Every structure is written in C-alpha cells, then in structure tokens.
Amino acid sequence: MGHIKEENLGLLDYLLDQHDYAMLVKLLQKEGAPASLQAFARLGQALVQGNLPVIDKLAQELDQDQLLRPEALEQATYAAYRALQIQLKRQEYGDYFRALTPILVNIFRLIFEKRVMPQLDQFIEPIKKEDIDGRHLYRGLQWKQSRVEASDNIVNQTFHRYYGDHFNYDQYLSSSHLLKLITDHSQDKDLVAKATRMRAVEKYVRNLSAHEVVFVDQAWVKERGQLSLEEINHLLGELMTLADLKDQDQLNALSKINKEIKQGLGV
C-alpha cells in the first residue's frame, strides 16, 4: 500500500477534486507512491486531454478495458466533455465556451450519422495544406465535393436548399452545416429544438468569447445566451445522450481513477 505525508493530504484532496493530474503525478512521484498509482494519474490526465494513444496504452496496462470500447471519434468527444466539466467546476467560463465548437461538431456529426445517415463519413475528407515552411499539415475536415454532388443524396439536397449552387467547399465541417442537415432530415422535433438552441449559444456566446478579449461571467452568459451556465451545460449533456454518448464507464472515468488512487494510498 502506498503512503503520503499527513501534511500533503489536503493538497492530495485538492488535486483530486480539481482533476489536476499533472500536478498529482509530481506529488505522487515526490511521495514515492507506487508506479501503478502514478500511472492512474497519468491516465486521468490523458482522459482529460483526449490523448488517445496514451489512454489505450495505460488502460490496457491498468486493466481498465472498459475505457477502450468507444471508437476514436466518440472517445475524443468524451474527453472534450470531461474537460468542459472541469472548466465549469473551476469557473473558467471563457475557456468553457471557447472549447464548445469542437465538441458540438462531434456531437452533431454523431447524431446525424447514428440517427439519419450512417454513411456520412463517405462525404467527409481530411485536408492537409502546405504551411509557410512548406510542410503539409492536417488542417481539418471538409465536405467531399465529388461525393456530395455525385447523386441526389440528402447532403446535396440540403446544401442546394440553403446555398443554391454556391456552397463553399473550402469551408471546414461546421456545426452550422450539420444542424441544417439535422433540421432537414430528422423527425425528432425535440432533438432539432435542442440542437438549434445549442447552436444559438455557440453563435451568440462562444463566437464572441473566442474572437474578442471579453470578460465572461454568469451574468454575461445569461444575457447573451438566454440560458444560465447550468442550463447550457445540462443541454450539452442532453445532446451527448442524443448522440448515444452515455457510457457510464466513460462519464464516470475520473471519479473511478480518483477512487483507485485514494484506495491505493490508504486515505
């Protein structure tokens, strides 16, 4: 069984509560805690950061096979959701909203893929572009024009409805594109309403906080988004469920890691 000095117990509790696993690793190293507990802390950090190769490696080493189940897109989305919950807990509201767009794109993509169009991946392609040093770097996902325009498919129908013949294929995959597809082709009115409301939060709260230096507090969020922070976060959780992202092993992963560390230290 590991041990930790009594004077560091308060710090241990704080780091676990705040999910500050980077500092926790340093504390465990300093205290000479077992390597397995240090590995649990590194796994916690990887789960927050979305470091999928490290998650796979440490989950196997620590017999946490339940963390290996989701596909990469789902696993990355769970990680983004965990990070948002930590930012909300720490009252890092600006960071919370700046991180909202990537997870919304993933959630809307999964919703449309699972509920309407399982072959959606065929219409999307990763893009690499040359940087100022001549390196070809991954830049993001774009709609595959040759596939979208190859037939009278529902993606083509929606794009033509909203953009006519002028859809800009140089744009990257966005929540706006995906919401239009969901709105046009989902029969679930509750889903459409929730996705539309969250897209409005992204448009009126996230976009300004991401592109201007502004002070983000609860009152500012409520004024612009017409929802409280708690309501926005609850709505995000509902959209996670609608995207079938409801694996309790994933959602409770950090609590389980904290429990393993505390039990291993005998505290």
Mean pLDDT by 10 residues, the chain (267 residues): 76 96 95 94 95 95 91 95 97 96 98 97 97 95 96 94 95 97 97 98 95 95 97 98 97 96 90
pLDDT digits (tens, 9 = 90+) for 255-266: 999 999 999 998
Long-range pairs, 49-52, Cβ under 8 A, ≥24: 49/79, 49/83, 50/75, 50/76, 50/79, 50/80, 50/83, 52/76, 52/79
Q: What is the pTM of this model?
A: 0.93
pLDDT digits (tens, 9 = 90+) for 178-224: 999 999 999 999 999 999 999 999 999 999 999 999 999 999 999 99
